[in-house]
Structure 1
Amino acid sequence: MRMFFYAWLCVPLSLFSQTKAKVVGISDGDTITVLLDGNVQKKLRLAEVDCPENRQPFGKNAKQFTSDQVFSRQVMFVETNKDRYGRSVAKVYYDNGKYLSAEIIKAGYGWWYYSYSKDADLGAMQNRAKAKKIGLWIDKKAVSPWDFRKAQRERAKRKRLQKQAELHIRKA
């Protein structure tokens, strides 16, 4: 009996927090919607990977890759965090243990999100994809999604300031 108890102590805790679900939507390369028991939908932001935005080069390719991998299929996921938009950040597994984020990075459709990941193996996968020039790495000037989003915010801010200045001039 004591041996049985010790064997249970060796089982990873993440095993208990895995959730099984069916993928019913793909928002972009790194965001999926799953259907849980009770017909409840949940949006998941994939952990450790950042894919090009839909408006970026290769954004649609990344979305298509993710769709080809998991749309309408059963997945297992482990929630790791919440993002600033309230979405669950999760590690998603399919096909008997394939890690979706790693598959996206290996295929060249996403960046290793090193700011939110300690898994250097993902960085090595990214470097191999880059060296082979596959997926988005065909583009020598590929812009990371976080830099793209920052540029979008700055552009929107300049537009707002320009409009305010024009209104101020008209009033004067």
Structure 2
Amino acid sequence: METERLIMRRWRESDREPFAALNADPQVMEFFPASLTRAESDSLVDRIEQGFDERGYGLWALEVRKTGEFIGFAGLAMQTFEAPFTPAVEVGWRLARPAWGHGYATEAGRRAIEHGFGEAGLEEIVSMTAVLNVRSQAVMRRLGMTRDPADDFAHPFLAEGNPLRPHVLYRIRP
């Protein structure tokens, strides 16, 4: 898939090293429980690719069209953890710091949502993040997603008292 400035594609072996670097960056991973080791990052790529094989969509590797540079991922992921809104398909993104502030997450997220409602035939797409992550919440709003505070939840994978546990949920329908 493509956007004006990005190529959204399946993963290549050459993506693994820069992906591991961004997953090890404490600023990129600020709103996640921990940075990832190289092995954990590679395992994530393997799970993402498996999701493409199973569902026909997933978290596409992002490449800047002009330069061919790998900058992270954006796309659709199935969420099945225990929560009132699951199972659900989430639109999400993770970009290397040099790619921040260029509108890439919004551009790729918009294309992923189009794919979800078009080719994938989804009836709803959600997005979630820690309450503290105001940058991602701004992207969700730019994507036309809306938040009902009644949907906010405590992420079950995070311990009581963890400042990242309180999460917001945004939704969009076609």
Q: Which has the larger radius of gyration?
A: 1
Q: TM-score, normalised by structure 1?
A: 0.31
Q: Which has the higher helix share?
A: 1
Q: TM-score, normalised by structure 2?
A: 0.31
